[in-house]
Amino acid sequence: MAARTIRVGGYGPPDTPHSRALDHFAATMADLVGEAAEVEILYNVMDLNRPITDLLSMVREGELTWCYFSTSYLGHPLADAIEIPFLFATLDEAHRALDGPFGKAVADAIRADHGFEMLGFWDNGFRHLTNAVRPIATPSDCAGLTIRVQPNPMHIALSQAWGMRPIGVDLSQGIEMIAAGEVDAQENPLANTYAYGVDHRYITMTAHLYGARGLFADAARMEAMPAELAAAVRTAARAAVEFQRAASADYELELQERFAADGRRIIVPSPAQRSMFSEAAAPVIDAAVATINEDVLALL
């Protein structure tokens, strides 16, 4: 019997925690099913000169079995609850929410509305500000700076609340704009800042947004897959979740040291300064909370 091919994909270089987690998935699949399945990995869809938004269509059309993808791009009301600024203070808080009733509610809604089975949630980490102009320690330091953000209304509103001028564009275009100096600032987890070659001198550890990357599989294809193989895919994906979260946390600490050694300035806001960022964002937070069903907020 010919081996079944399981194709997985994402949008990062091979040495990132996300790509290493894809490798971990492949290794776990080999342990679980041996030669019954062959795992093929597309580490970075942008290497094919395709935008990252193609990943979900590649899953829908069967080019990929599953992909990881930022939940913020979906524009789904439940998934957007994850995007509430300053929602989580620690990674443990985020994991408890995503692995519990709230995460199940998100997964159920995405399956119903988009036809995807959620195999789990990876960390995209906490997002921090970087810029090439000046140190940022309080929102007043942000005034007038242009910033590339994801094309997500909440991200745009948040940067506006701090006095910045947001430009919401897809990742590939954003990387080009940052490299060309067409924007002053950007906001990303440190892993992304490094992977995308952002050379900004000033890094402010605002931790203003927690980012999740869902593992999206086509629900109908998962149901049509032989039961034992589908079970192995789900088990291996869960193992990859545990691996990726640990690797991501370690990597952020490593990158802080690496950036500092390279001469970049790491600004860690004091508790009072961090409160200034959250207080300035209060209207955005209130507006976001108002759109979320009370039952969902209770789960959070």
Using alpha carbons only, what angle is made at residue 111 by residues 110 and 114, rounded to the nearest 5 degrees? 65
pTM here? 0.85
Set out the domains of the chain in order of their start, with CATH numbers.
4-299 (3.40.190.170)
**Best CA proximity match to 147, nearest among 185, 203, 191, 195:** 185
DSSP letter at 57?
H
Q: For residue 1, what pLDDT band results from cuts at 50, 70 and 90?
A: very low
Mean residue pLDDT of the chain comes to 93
pLDDT over 60 at 171, yes or no? yes
The answer to whether 193 touches 211, Cβ cutoff 8 Å, is no
| pLDDT at 112 (0 to 100) | 93
Residue 41 corresponds to which tokens in the numbers above?
A: 């990995």
Q: Computed over its alpha carbons, how large is the radius of gyration of the chain?
A: 19
Residue 44 per-residue DSSP state: B
- Confidence band of 164 (pLDDT split at 50, 70, 90): very high
Are the C-beta atoms of residues 84 and 77 closer than 8 Å to each other? no
Please write the tens of the pLDDT for every residue from 255-275: 999 999 999 999 999 999 999
Please write the tens of the pLDDT for every residue from 11-69.
Answer: 988 989 999 999 999 999 999 999 999 999 999 999 999 989 899 999 999 999 999 99
Query: What is the rounded CA–CA span in Å between residue 232 and residue 236?
Result: 6
Sign of CA dihedral 146, 150, 153, 158: negative
**Whole-angstrom distance, CA of residue 276 vs CA of residue 259:** 25
Residue 259 has which token pair?
């950036």
